[in-house]
Structure 1
């Protein structure tokens, strides 16, 4: 009995990172919780996440607007500061569409139904959009884009053009690569037991996708509408062609970016780790269902 108590105390107060198998178990349990969260709570947490990612985007553009920085350093440093967004989501508590692609692990294991997954993704995507658009309004009204002699606004416009002009297939694959990295960042954050651990785990994957110019649908919910507002209000530097920045251009980016994010997060990370830790290794960590009974699963649809 004493040995069991000591073991439980060691696990509870341990300082080592959670093992990959423990992370997988944690992600499945969270997937059930997220999928069955009440609508209002889910939506409001999604609004917070959309605003959080927008704050990371705002921080990133400040770095992007400094023409004195070299390309590689600018992209790397910009990616590091953009990690503010995911840190606010993971540590502060919020619901982010790209990270929620991992709830597919609970779905594959028959703990949640297809309808619950689609409901969660829809509610969270829309909530993220509302939060990002709210931040667009506040940033524009604060005249943030006028910083550095208008260079911040110019950086937003140039970034938007670079995101809208590629073809649909290119944006889709950029979305896949983006959410592989984002979900790996979330996965590593779940390994940590402290705030410092979580930050250390998520920063480099986030910095990598930003530096590489991949497509994050929630970040684009901030960048692209902000660029559109700048165009519509005449805040465009002379000689810059902004004809691509239209509502249809925004849709052209967001749809394939969203689909790519789903494939990258749900397939490239969630499915792969489920196969490893549930199937290939024989399900070493059986999970209780929401009623607390080990081994029972929600019926498949």
Structure 2
């Protein structure tokens, strides 16, 4: 299986970020929509498996299916472009600017939200037979997730807000590692394995992903959860987006760029006098001398 070394990997990351900044509005929105839809279908699948089996670890193990499919198909997530787009600016690629980065992030956000909300609406219809009955057990579980991860944080005040933000940071450290892991190899099975590992970790540990939450919380509201749109925005989505931004930019993109692309000069080893080359040693004993008569 092929392996791309970190120095070459960062080059691929810069190329990917530069390409996303030059993408048309139409294609950015389409890729954002499909990225949000596939990721959140994976989330719905993971919750379904967890409810049906009573094994959260199994749900976490299967959640990355949607993530892997969307990146193999070339779609985008907000968490991924948080990491990649700034690298094009740091590398001074043509067309890379703060404005183009904000444009890209904004379009991907809109596309992701549209895709995630579409899945939320479709799944709410499926869970309730078009809102003609109470939600089934999977719908009830999703509704409770939305309640617990908004009001649940609010109950702890500033401590809850800090916890929410840090869970957003940790989430995108893992998710962005999964995004760039797809660039670590040119072999399909290698890409799948490399993406699977960090994304399974994030989901299993309950970290906060802004795009997954674009599905979970609108779903909860559609299914009758006891929280408001304001609760969702203040006590989840906005802090999660900011945490995802910090995690992806600072702890993944900038770290790799700094140590593998703008590598500091290597240290010159100090040479001690004892280790310096010396003149040829003088003979320690008299050598026989031939005498010519």
Q: Deviations over 1:39-78 (max 9, x none)?
A: 0110111000110111111111112313x53xxxx33221
Q: TM-score, structure 2 length as denominator?
A: 0.81
Q: Which residue of 1 aligns with 2:222?
A: 229
Does the CA-based 8 Å contact 1:75-1:210 persist in structure 2?
no
Alignment gaps of 5+ in structure 2: 154-159, 266-293
Larger Rg: 2
Task: Give the match's secondary structure for 2:4.
Answer: coil
Q: Which residue of 2 aligns with 1:132?
A: 116
Does the CA-based 8 Å contact 2:70-2:76 persist in structure 1?
yes
Matched, 1:250 2:236: no
CA distance in 1: counterparts of 2:161 and 2:144, whole angstroms:
19
Cα RMSD of the aligned pairs, angstroms, is: 1.9
CA distance in 2: counterparts of 1:199 and 1:249, whole angstroms:
36
CA distance in 1: counterparts of 2:123 and 2:242, whole angstroms:
28
Mapping for residues 77-88 of structure 1, pairs under 5 Å: 77-88=58-69
Matched, 1:211 2:223: no
CA distance in 2: counterparts of 1:128 and 1:110, whole angstroms:
27
Matched, 1:75 2:56: yes
Matched, 1:101 2:101: no
Does the CA-based 8 Å contact 1:78-1:207 persist in structure 2?
no
Deviation at 1:194, TM superposition (A): 2.2
Q: Deviations over 1:114-160 (max 9, x none)?
A: 111111001101110000111112112223799xx922112102211
Matched, 1:157 2:138: no
Residue 247 to residue 91, structure 1, CA distance change in 2 (3 Å): same
Number of residues paired by the alignment? Answer: 251
Does the CA-based 8 Å contact 1:48-1:131 persist in structure 2?
yes
Residue 108 to residue 249, structure 1, CA distance change in 2 (3 Å): same
Q: Kindly report structure 1 stretches of 4+ aligned residues shifted beyond 6 Å.
A: none
Mapping for residues 14-163 of structure 1, pairs under 5 Å: 15-66=1-52, 69=54, 74-102=55-83, 103-111=85-93, 112-143=96-127, 150-163=136-149
Q: Which residue of 2 aligns with 1:5?
A: none
CA distance in 2: counterparts of 1:128 and 1:227, whole angstroms:
18
Q: Deviations over 1:232-266 (max 9, x none)?
A: xxxxxxxxxx43x2111111210000010000011
